Amino acid sequence: METFGIEKLGIIGAKAVYRNLPPSRLTEAALRRGEGTLCNTGALVVTTGRYTGRSPDDKFIVDTPAIHDQIAWGKTNKPISREKFNAIKGKAAAYLQNREVFIFDGLAGADPAYTLKFRVVNELASQNLFIRQLLIRPTEEQLAQYGEPDFVILCVPGFKCDPVVDGVNSEAAIMIDYEARMIVIVGSQYAGEIKKSVFSVLNYVYPVEKGVLPMHCSANMDPDTGETAVFFGLSGTGKTTLSADPRRKLIGDDEHGWSDRGIFNFEGGCYAKCINLDPEAEPEIFSAIRFGSLVENVVMDPETRALDFNDDSLTENTRVGYPIDFISNAVIPGVGGVPKVVIFLTADAFGVLPPISRLNQDAAMYHFITGFTSKLAGTERGIVEPQPTFSTLFGEPFMPLPPLKYAEMLGEKIARYNTKVFLVNTGWTGGPYGVGSRMKLRYTRAMITAALNGTLDSVPYRHDGVFNVDVPQSCPDVPDSIMNPRETWADKKAYDEAANRLAKMFQDNFAKKYPDMPENIVKAGPRAVC
C-alpha cells in the first residue's frame, strides 16, 4: 500500500491511504462513513459538533529560538513547546492506526512565482473534500511532479486532548510549527481551522521569506481595463457582497497577497456564510451549493432535504465551501495587477463616520492597524448599545508578526504605486443603531463605483477634524446630504458628542494596543475634542 510519506508523521498501519480523490469519491466515502448526508441540490451537509467556529483559545505557535523574536506573542499568538507539540502529534498519528487516511496535495498562492505546496492529511473524507475545494487543485502534471510539500497539515478531529496531560486549554488544539513546517489540528471538526491555518502560515512565510504583503481581503477586477481593487472588512461590513459586483470579475473573496507583480488569491475556493442566505440577493453563493460543495451546520429538512438558511439553532456561523469556478465571473487563475484602489469597510453603528472618506498614506496605515467596526446591541449577551470592535489588520487572529511589519509593507506599496485608499462606512446614518437607518446599499455601491472609476478625484473635499479624514462633498447617485453625517442627524449636539466618544475610543484602543507605534501613524488617527 502506498503511503505518500505519512510514515514521516508517525502514522503506521493505516487501514487505507487515499490521495487526491475527486469530489465524487470523497463524497461517496463521507456518506459511507456516516459523516454527512446530501441535500436536495447534491451538496454534502455535515454538522461539526461542539465546535461550530474557530477556537482562538486553542490556537498555539511552537516557540523555538529560530522564530521566537519574530512573533508578536500575546493573547492571539500563544506559545507551546516543541515537546508538547510532538507529544500531541504522536498521539494523533497513533489514533489513525487501522483507520482510513485521506490526503490532499494542494497548492496555495495563485501566482506561480509564490505558490507553496500543502499536503493535508485528514481523518475525515468530508474535511478532505473541503480542503480540496478550498485550496488550488494541481493539474495531473503538477501532481506527478509534486515531490515534497512545503508544509504538512495533520487534521484528526477524532483525537481529543486531555488538557491536564497535554498542556492545552481544551480537547481541541490548533498548533503551527513554522520551523518544522507543520500544522497539527485535533479535537475540532470545524473545517475553517484548516483553511485559516494555511492563512496563518502564509501570513508568516510571505512577508518574512518572499517580501509579499498578505491580506485578509476580497479582490475584484474591471473586466475591460484589468484594474484591480481590494476590500478589507470584518464580518457584517459587506466585504463579500460589495466585492461580488456583477459588473466586475471576482479574483477572490477572502485572502490575497500583494507582490511587486500585483495581487493574487491564496485559494482556489470560497468559504461563504449561509445564515439568512437569499437567492435573489446572493445568487452566486446560492447556486454554488451543489454537488462538490461542503455545507456546515445548516439545518436540513429530513424529508425534503431542503436547507433552512434562516435556522440558526446549530450556529449563526453556518458555512459552505466550494471551488471558485462555481462562481461564474471568477478570475481563474486568481491573479490581478497592482491595486488601483484599496477600500477599508467599516459598519459604524454609532452613525457618525462619513459614508466615504479619503485616506493619505499615514491614515491608511493607521486604519489598517486599527481594523474598526462595531457590534450591535442585542447581538451578544450584555451588549445594550453599540460597542467598538478593533481587529488588527482586519484579521488579527491570523497575523503572527508585529502589526507594524504589515502596516509598513502596506504603506510602502501605497506610496510606490500611488494607490488610492478610501474608508467606507456601511453602517448607520441619521443617528445610531436603533435611531438612524443602515446606509442604503445602492448609495454605498455608487460611492465605491465613483472611487474605482476616478470620479471622486475631481470633486471638492472637506477635512473632518474629529476623524482626521478628507470627505468628498458630492458623489453621483448619492444625495449631497448623505455625504456629511452630521447633517443627517436631527440633533447636531448629539452628533458632536457621539463623534467625540467614538474618536476617543479609537485613541484609547490605539494607545493601549500599540504604545510604540511611530508618531506619524499615531497622529493620523481620530482626534477627540476635549
Query: From the CB of residue 247, how many other CB atoms can be counted at a distance below 10 Å?
Result: 12
Residue 457 has pLDDT above 70, yes or no: yes
Instruction: Check residue 376 and give its pLDDT.
Output: 56
Mean pLDDT within 385-405: 91
The domains found in the chain, sorted by start residue, are: 6-213+269-326 (3.40.449.10), 338-522 (3.90.228.20)
Angle formed at CA 171 by CA 170 and CA 173, multiple of 5 degrees: 80
Active site residue 239: yes
Mean pLDDT within 107-130: 98
Place of cell 470560497: 270
Residue 260 has pLDDT above 50, yes or no: yes
Say how far apart CA 75 and CA 297 lie, in whole Å.
Answer: 28
Active site residue 442: no
Catalytic residue among 78, 89, 239, 248: 239
* pLDDT category of residue 1 using cuts at 50, 70 and 90: low
Identify whether the C-beta of residue 352 lies closer than 8 Å to the C-beta of residue 502. Answer: yes
Identify whether the C-beta of residue 334 lies closer than 8 Å to the C-beta of residue 358. Answer: no
Catalytic residue among 119, 132, 319, 340: 319
Mean pLDDT within 46-54: 95
Q: Can you count the helices (H) and strands (E) in the chain?
A: 15, 30
Mean pLDDT within 91-106: 97
Of 510, 505, 493, 339, whose CA–CA distance to 420 is shortest? Answer: 339
Residue 5 has pLDDT above 90, yes or no: no
Cell output for 506 = 479609537
Catalytic residue among 19, 54, 132, 367: 54
Instruction: Check residue 388 and give its pLDDT.
Output: 85
471-504 confidence digits (pLDDT tens): 999 999 999 999 999 999 999 999 999 999 999 9
Instruction: Check residue 380 and give its pLDDT.
Output: 42
Residue 237 has pLDDT above 90, yes or no: no
Of 493, 495, 451, 498, whose CA–CA distance to 476 is shortest? Answer: 451
User: What predicted TM-score, i.e. pTM, was given to this entire model?
Assistant: 0.93
Contacts for 505 with CB less than 8 Å, ≥ 6 apart: 388
Catalytic residue among 41, 64, 76, 235: 235
Mean pLDDT within 36-61: 96
Active site residue 32: no
DSSP string, 74-136: SSSSEEE-HHHHHHHHHHHHHHTTTSEEEEEEEEE-SSGGG-EEEEEEES-HHHHHHHHHHSB
Residue 297 has pLDDT above 50, yes or no: yes
Of 139, 32, 145, 156, whose CA–CA distance to 89 is shortest? Answer: 156
Residue 204 has pLDDT above 70, yes or no: yes
Active site residue 240: yes
Mean pLDDT within 170-181: 97
Instruction: Check residue 8 and give its pLDDT.
Output: 84
Residue 30 has pLDDT above 70, yes or no: yes
Determine what percent of the chain is predicted with pLDDT higher than 70: 98
Residue 456 has pLDDT above 80, yes or no: yes
Q: How many residues does the chain have?
A: 530
428-454 confidence digits (pLDDT tens): 999 999 899 999 999 999 999 999 999
Catalytic residue among 89, 117, 132, 216: 216
Instruction: Check residue 234 and give its pLDDT.
Output: 86
Mean pLDDT within 126-141: 98
Residue 236 has pLDDT above 80, yes or no: no
Residue 382 has pLDDT above 70, yes or no: no
Catalytic residue among 91, 119, 160, 196: 196
Q: What is the mean pLDDT of the chain?
A: 94
Mean pLDDT within 306-330: 94
Active site residue 181: no
Residue 351 has pLDDT above 70, yes or no: yes
* pLDDT category of residue 385 using cuts at 50, 70 and 90: low
* pLDDT category of residue 377 using cuts at 50, 70 and 90: very low
Active site residue 254: yes
Look up residue 82 and give its amino acid.
R
Instruction: Check residue 383 and give its pLDDT.
Output: 46
Residue 243 has pLDDT above 60, yes or no: yes
Instruction: Check residue 381 and give its pLDDT.
Output: 41
Catalytic residue among 240, 346, 370, 429: 240
Strands (E), 139-233: 151-156, 173-177, 182-186, 213-221, 228-232
Catalytic residue among 58, 105, 177, 254: 254
